[in-house]
Amino acid sequence: MVTSAASSIPGLRVPQLLSDRSSSAVKSAAGNVDSLATENGVNSTPTIFVGPTGTSGKRVNLSSPTDSKSLEQAIAKALAQGS
């Protein structure tokens, strides 16, 4: 599956990707991402935070991955608070 998806990206060197994915550098980066996700309460996809630049923002509670209404409301609220 990874090979198929990677092959669809123009210019991506698939053999290098497959070789690098088990490297210590990639494992370290993945560990850092996991730590940040845990620290920020990110445990699902998508997880969206809305707020002014330079802040952590507030998590948008989505009823489904395609819940655009909740996202729109969160953005409108953030914009209203900023003005």
Stretch 57-75: mean pLDDT, rounded? 94
Question: Do 40 and 56 meet the contact criterion of CB atoms below 8 Å apart?
Answer: yes
Q: Is residue 15 pLDDT above 70, yes or no?
A: yes
Q: How confident is the model at residue 31 (pLDDT cuts 50, 70, 90)?
A: very high
The pTM for the full model equals 0.63
Q: Whose CA is closest to 61, among 48, 79, 42?
A: 48
Stretch 30-57: mean pLDDT, rounded? 92
Average pLDDT score, the chain = 93
The percentage of the chain sitting over the pLDDT mark of 90, rounded to a whole number, equals 82
Stretch 24-49: mean pLDDT, rounded? 94
